[in-house]
Amino acid sequence: MQPLNGKVAIVTGASRGVGKGIALGLGEAGATVYVTGRTIEEGRSSSGWPGTIGQTAAEVTQLGGQGIAVQCDHRHEKEIEQLFQRVLSEQDHIDLLVNNAWAGYEHMFHDGQFTWFNPFWQQPLWRWDAMFQSGVRGAYIAGQFAAQKMVEQRRGLIVNISYWASQKYMGNVAYGTAKAAVDRLAIYMAHELREHNVAAVGLYPGLVRTENVLESAEHFDLSNSESPQFSGRAVAGLLADPDIMQKSGQILTAAALALEYGFKDIDGKQPQPLTLETA
């Protein structure tokens, strides 16, 4: 029996990348997954990368869950509100919110140059705005709507996807600052939710073989990399954990959870957990 049968999850920014992988990991565990994002037509994403919310939802269903695609631009409060209105009109509970939606990765190449690692005074301001609008503000608003229902039902889990750049400089000031905000958001939400038996955590994937990373593979060492679905298996493990409240308020890593919960990546490999020193 799939351990997440009957569980209802919302995964934001799941047309592709880590978000898609998380949706698939929840799908293979039997969850109902609301897949959100902006892309509904192949080839029409702002980045030009493949993937749509409909494709992700279909793959969730193929894996044994129920995938439901909902177009939502997480820069806009009204669209987030409409998302939760729809979920609650179709379901009587929400078990999980994964705040993954993120912008600012688009157009890493400008005039033939890889600009991600340029100093902050040479970075386009749109990159800062994109990260904070969808990645931080959007996560805060979605967290508000999810928490209202979770507090009422006295159970639930919010997972904010982040990375080590929140704790040490990794080549991009805007990215590190935004990820630090996402970490603190999870920690402080957990503090206020604890008395209501609702958990909130931050989750760090390792180096994930997303479309973006593979496009720029020459700039990365992929020897200890992870598939996007590996993060999904980590989130599925958290949702199935009967003692999840003991982890509330913590910043966790997908690879360490794999060792604790006993799962491997889809290729059978066991990625090793990164640390602050090795990240």
CB count in 10 Å sphere of residue 45: 19
Cα–Cα distance, 168 to 64 (Å, whole number): 39
Map residue 66 onto helix, strand or coil: strand
| Residues in Cβ contact with 30 at an 8 Å cutoff, skipping those fewer than 6 apart | 1, 2, 3, 4, 5, 6, 7, 64, 65
**What length is written for the chain?**
279
Query: SS3 letters for 107-127?
Result: CCEECCEECCCCCHHHCCHHH
Q: Catalytic positions, please?
A: 175
- Measured between alpha carbons, how far is residue 220 from residues 97, 103, 126, 209, 273 in Å? 30, 20, 24, 10, 17
Q: What is the largest CA-CA distance in the chain?
A: 54
Cα–Cα distance, 163 to 126 (Å, whole number): 21
Structure tokens at 193: 């939710």
Map residue 196 onto helix, strand or coil: helix
DSSP string for 123-190: S-HHHHHHIIIIIIIHHHHHHHHHHHHHHHHT--EEEEE--GGGTS--S-HHHHHHHHHHHHHHHHHH
DSSP string for 211-235: HHHHHTGGGS--TT-B-HHHHHHHH
Single out the residue of 181, 93, 185 nearest to residue 142, CA to CA.
Answer: 185
